[in-house]
A and B are shown apart, each in its own frame.
Chain A
Amino acid sequence: MAGFAAALTPGHVAMCFLGVLLGQVVGVLPGIGPSAAIALLLPITFGLEPTAALILFAGIYYGSQYGGTLTSVLISVPGESSTVMTSIDGYQMALQGRAGAALGIAAIGSFIAGTLGTIGLMLIAPPLAKMALAFGPPEYFSLVVLGLVALAAVGSSVLKGLVAGVAGLALGTMGIDPQVGTARYDFGQIWLLDGIEFIVLTVALFGLGEVLSGCADAAARPVAKVKDVLPTREDWQRSKWPIARGSVIGFVIGVLPATGATIASFVAYIVEKKLARDPSRFGKGAIEGVAGPEASNNAAASGALVPMLSLGVPGSGTTAVILGALIMFGVRPGPEMFTTNASLVWALIASMLIGNLILLVMNLPLAGLFARLLSVPYSWLYPPIIALCIAGVYSQANSIEDCWLLVGFGLVGWMMRRHDWPMAPMVLGLVLSPLFETAMRQSLTLSLGDPAIFVARPLSAGLLACAALALLVPLAALAWQRRPSSVR
């Protein structure tokens, strides 16, 4: 109840509203995702208290899931990878003049799933965090390994994800060594003694890098008309069980590291198709093909916050950026959050319930209005985004040198995006590098230099085993796909 009391203060309700509204808008607008939006807002939120900032960022995160649906249904361009499955039947419904019904059932399904997912988060995260309070340095070391490997495994290539993650960890060693004060990789530049700031790398990769990647295709697209968003009785009959099943599937998959909303929506779609009396309707405008995946990706967004809040392991790129933001605000995510920052966590969870309600109220009558944002050409949007990147990066330390880093890492981000290299592991590596190094050094001091300490302690060994599984499962799946009999 204290969480609700904190979340219901006028300032926090305003942040929640602003967050879900911004999330909805960035989900709709081309070329800017929730990670970029949070990265760009980081410098502006310096003066905020952590609870308000976290409520804002979480609102952007789950609000963008709603926004991504609009682009999937109306122009068959998924705003988020987790809405790819929605575009299959959603766009077919739009072509049949039923865009409103598709968006309406997506909003209702998302509300139900988001609420159920948040309740699941309330039930599961605290006991998980309590169990993890027994963590010592070796467990923290293994936790960082699991977090990085899990995030690397989410992308299209585990190998590319691992390279990006290790590059981030290496960048995190720049500057003064935290234990003995040795200067590392400053290349003779005094300003590099502070290392590379999380905000500079995040804005460069997710802000400038995304802009450079998207500016070549900056034209507006024709948009379908939206009307009659309230589902009919038949729509509801067809959708209620897919929404229920999607909520459960999404939450369970979201909680697991190395998975996330994209896989959850894919599984939900497959399950609905398998259970359908007439599977041939799928791909031709079946409303179940919208309801199931939409419920699933929203429940997964809540589920992904379970490992992030209770263990400090992000389940997606956006939660990795939120995790970095939390550290920037002086909050250490992980098992201690539920004891040292309990009011913050419960206010966040309560705000998610409120935010889901705001999104439902906003989406049913205003879906048509948000759809009009789709007609804003990206060519008018990206130049101001670059200006905001420059101002934001400069403002965090009043440093011109950081702006040079912005350009350099922006170029790297563009190349990575262009060639499908995941960027989130790099950001997470930079954020977790100090924790990783400290935990490793403390562990080896405890064991007098014996690395067996990481596998001798059951919790640490269990976390490393999970990391190995997160690495091996996608590799095994790839080997299975590439076995000789599967080649046509």
Chain B
Amino acid sequence: MRRVSWGDLGLSAGFAAMGLVWIAGAREMPMWERETPGPGWLPLAFGVLLVGLSAAAALQALIWPAAAPEGGGSVRKPLLVLGATLAAVLGLELIGFLPAVFLMLLVLFVLAERKALLPSLLAALGVSAALHLIFVTWLGVPLPAGPFGG
């Protein structure tokens, strides 16, 4: 059954909003200096194009609705995964890279995927250790150490 794709409309609205931000920002910059476009000219052009094309995409979504239901199934798990990722990024400075990523992995294995605790613990430990080995030991990247160090 054909139906309007709210996702397409939402994305079109998001890109159109971005276009408006670009137009507003460009108006505060010089547009044309002698025979050459100034720093605001191209962002303005991109903003106008983005608004126009997004409006056309929204119109397309309304006139020719999606032939099939939107793919991807439930949004519960992706939102849980996104939340865990967000928490891990928040924790990078607070508790350091290793504990933040270890906890994120554990939460994803145990809560999102309902895995048994012991294999989840081992997998989370193994992945965290491997990342430390690759990025800190091998590549010399100073990943956030946090209050626990290392």
Instruction: State whether B25 touches A383 (Cβ < 8 A).
Output: no
SS class, residues of chain A in contact with chain B: helix
CB-CB contacts below 8 Å: A442-464 with B: 444-445, 447-449
Q: Is the CB of B36 within 8 A of A216?
A: no
Tell whether, in the assembled complex, residue A170 and residue B46 are in contact, meaning their CB atoms are under 8 Å apart.
Answer: yes
Complex Cα gap A155–B92 (Å): 37
- In the complex, the answer to whether B47 meets A212 with C-beta atoms within 8 Å is no
* Number of chain B residues close to chain A: CB under 8 A: 74
What residues of chain B lie closer than 8 Å to A326, measured between beta carbons?
none
A-side contacts of B11, CB under 8 Å: 415-416, 419, 421
Assess whether A410 is in contact with B10, with CB atoms less than 8 Å apart.
no
- Within 8 Å by CB of A441, from B36, B49, B113, lies B36
* Interchain CA distance A163-B9 in the complex, whole Å: 13
**Which residue in chain A gives the minimum CB-CB distance to B33?**
A180
Q: How large is the interface on A (under 10, 10 to 19, 20 to 34, 35 or more residues)?
A: 35 or more
The answer to whether residues A384 and B39 also contact, given A391-B97, A398-B141 and a CB cut-off of 8 A, is no
**B71, A185: Cβ atoms closer than 8 Å:** no
Task: Say which residue of A382, A400, A416 sits within 8 Å of B89 (CB atoms).
Answer: A400
Is the CB of A321 closer than 8 A to any CB of chain B?
no
Instruction: Among B10, B73, B139, find the residue whose CB has the most chain A CB atoms closer than 10 A.
Output: B139
Q: Which of A273-281, A354-362, A401-409 interfaces with chain B?
A: A401-409
Q: Does B27 contact A (CB under 8 A)?
A: no
Proximity bits, A137-174, B CB within 8 Å = 1, else 0: 00000000000000000000101101100110110010
Closest 4 CB pairs of A and B: A419-B7, A449-B35, A177-B39, A383-B108
Point out residues on B near A: beta carbons under 8 Å: 5, 7-8, 10-12, 14-15, 18-19, 21-22, 25, 29-30, 32-33, 35-40, 42-43, 46-47, 49-50, 53-54, 56-57, 60, 64, 70-78, 81-82, 84-86, 88-89, 92-93, 97, 101, 104-105, 108-109, 112-113, 115, 123-124, 127-128, 131, 134-135, 139, 141-144
Residues of A that sit less than 8 Å from B by CB = 43-44, 46-47, 157, 159-160, 162-163, 166-167, 169-170, 173, 177, 179-180, 182, 184-185, 208, 211-213, 215-218, 379-380, 382-384, 386-388, 390-391, 394-395, 398, 400, 403-404, 406-407, 410-412, 414-421, 436-437, 440-441, 444-445, 447-449, 482
